[in-house]
Amino acid sequence: MNRLFIAYAVTLLLIAAVASANDRPTTIQGFYDSSARTRVIAHRGFSGAAPENTVAAVRAAIEIHADMVEIDVTLTSDGHIVVIHDETLDRTTNGSGEVFRYTLAELQELDAGSWFNPTFAGERIPTLDDVLTEVDGRILLNLEIKSEAVDRGIVAKVASAIQREGMIDQVVVSSFSPTALKEMHSAAPEIRTAVLYNTKFHKGQDSVEIVTDLGARVFNIKRQRLTREMLRRCREHDIPVGIYTVNKPRRMRRLVKKGIDAIFTDHPDRLLVVLSPAAATP
């Protein structure tokens, strides 16, 4: 039995130990329970194992029992919500140019998997409905609204999709755009929202004020930008803090020791191992 196989088998056992625990959340409220362990958010799906923001990446996150999957959404030229991170197609598909200039039909002709690995050839850019169907009852969802689509009416469409599928308790909506968060709070206050700390708008502001002024419930921030004062203020006001994007186990351990509520990672399998009882044993 080679060392690689043994390491892989041990990793799966450790992940299973966390996944079998009774504290895996089934609602957004449970996810942000302050007494719970650090939560595992699969960034753009399990993007370390499958092409980001695809159904394959979402399924991979579900299979390893991550607590939540994060995706990015924007609009097509004909008003459909699609799941992709960049404003352009060049990096993650065999297409080129700006996403919003294409219809849904045109986008779904593109290959969104081969760039990652030939085994994912033919993977498509999914719609939001595709992802909602995939995650419903299986994993919680962090849905990031891309700023460039806000002025084109995406917020109301996202709210309608979540309400239509009856998934208010399974989805949290985040954005770097204060306008998006304000619009969501106004259109559907029952849908929980999360601030993505944006230095353009938020630099120098109190973290609690940022969250409350936008009607949000959660404060998400890049690891390097989190200060002790931000964390202290959020804790004083029971505002959950999420940190992105952390892929090195040693950094994960430090954040877990600090009691960070949630960590976004391209490698949720690594974080599950860090959180496992076996990993905590001296």
Spot the catalytic one: 43, 65, 202, 267: 43
Residues 222, 33, 50: CA angle, nearest 5 degrees: 50
Q: Give burial (CB, 10 Å; 0-12/13-18/19+) of 105.
A: exposed
Q: Are 68 and 44 in contact (CB under 8 A)?
A: no
Residue (of 18, 8, 12, 11) closest to 276 by Cα position: 18
**Which of these, 205, 222, 204, 227, lies nearest to 214 by C-alpha position?**
205
237 is catalytic: no
Q: Which of 65, 80, 85, 202 is catalytic?
A: 85
Output the six-digit token pair for 1: 């039995």
- Per 3-state DSSP, the chain is made up of helix, strand and coil in percentages (nearest 5) of 45, 15, 40
Residue position matching structure tokens 């995939």: 134
65 is catalytic: no
> Is the backbone of residue 277 left (phi > 0), alpha (psi -120 to 50) or beta?
alpha
Residues with catalytic annotation? Answer: 43, 85
